[in-house]
Amino acid sequence: MLYAPRSGGVRRYLSSKRAWLAANRPGVRHTLVVPGARDSYDGDGRVSIYAAPLPFGAGYRWPVVKAAWMERLIRQRPDIIEAGDPYTPGLAALRAGDALGVPVVGFCHTDLGKLAALHIGEWAEKPVQKRWAAVYRQFDQAVAPSRFIASRLIEAGVHNAIGLPLGVDTELFHPGRADREGLRRRLGVSSHEKLLVFAGRPAREKRLDVLVAAVERLGAPYKLLFVGAGGGAPISERAISLDYVRDPAELAGILASCDAFVHANDNEPFGLIVLEAMACGLPVVGVAAGGVAESVDGEVGELAARSEPKAFAEAIEALFARDIVAVGAAARRRAVERHGWDAVFRQLCFVYGGLTGRAAFGGVSQAREH
């Protein structure tokens, strides 16, 4: 359900997996079933099922007809199904798996309990978390994009949850795409100003207000660039907002042309955009909590103690007091050495192979031994 025209990390994960499977597992046929404006098939493995658009949802849609999803999944005759959410598509995947007698993996991209607490109130966290866990316990394997989310699932009773950190295309997201002066001319930012960047939806949990307040607290020479927030970003004379960038190469060029990446969400499930920024050679300022703290440490950036303006401003100042070029180079090295997609998808194929016994996924014998 989280695949949409303007979605970020989830869409890039799925697109990267499709490309990797095509190049490395020719015996595997991969079909992507997603919500869309109409029922359709693009002839290249992507099926759309009509779902109504969410108001102010930036292209996201809310599927409600479980039978349509179940029928379409069964029609594919898969050996394994991976569901990317616990809503209508995920529940339909469980039913389709039962009907076909095939395993279903639940990939957990979102901590629903924490989101409920943020958007509804603290009282909603426990009942929503209970429902969240009840769905994920039904999957043959629960997979999370970080140890943080895996631990949240385990605490909620999903004892088979495993953390599988996501990866990054280090050729696409590369420091060589930088055009620092060109971006600054485009934005009206002078060469001596320090340009911080955040890319992502202007959702409440992203804590864009903390970023703006931190930069306003710092004042000159800091400027903040939002990519993808459009009109949803907080208004400030120290902040600049760009619309969603569809082309990943263009996004990589923007990231590589900035001085540092900033991310204030203290409950981020993983933060694929953080890895993409690191691959572009940017140091990162994040919060010492959530999935971002698994990718960022003192070698590649700075972590604020809390997601609040004073602590975040202090972390930004601490970063720029260091050799920022060297920290950015370390961030690039870490992205290349630890987070290439190849290692991620080989591990995921071990999971698929172990559940299905299908040699086409590779690594079946190793998966069975575990």
Question: Which of 10, 132, 120 has its CA nearest to residue 60?
Answer: 10
The residue with greater pLDDT, 136 or 370, is 136
Chain-centre distance of CA 314, in angstroms? 26
**Containing H/E element for 331?**
helix 324-338
CA distances from 321 to 267, 288, 324, 368 (A): 27, 19, 8, 50
pLDDT(368) > 60? no
Helix, strand, coil percent values for the chain (each to nearest 5): 45, 15, 40
Give yes or no for a cis peptide into 221 (omega within 30° of 0): yes
How would residue 7 be classed by pLDDT, with cut points 50, 70 and 90? low
Mean pLDDT of 86-96: 96
Domains along the sequence of the chain with CATH: 9-168+340-369 (3.40.50.2000), 175-338 (3.40.50.2000)
How would residue 366 be classed by pLDDT, with cut points 50, 70 and 90? very low
Mean pLDDT of 86-92: 94
**Containing H/E element for 239?**
strand 239-242
pLDDT(6) > 70? no
Question: Which of 343, 24, 19, 23 has its CA nearest to residue 32?
Answer: 19
pLDDT for 10 equals: 84
> Which of helix, strand or coil describes residue 308?
coil
Query: Minimum mean pLDDT among 84-93, 229-238, 309-318: which range?
Result: 229-238
pTM: 0.80
Query: Minimum mean pLDDT among 1-5, 140-144, 168-172, 198-202: which range?
Result: 1-5
Query: Minimum mean pLDDT among 120-129, 250-259, 336-345: which range?
Result: 120-129
How would residue 31 be classed by pLDDT, with cut points 50, 70 and 90? very high
d(CA 159, CA 148): 14
pLDDT(281) > 80? yes
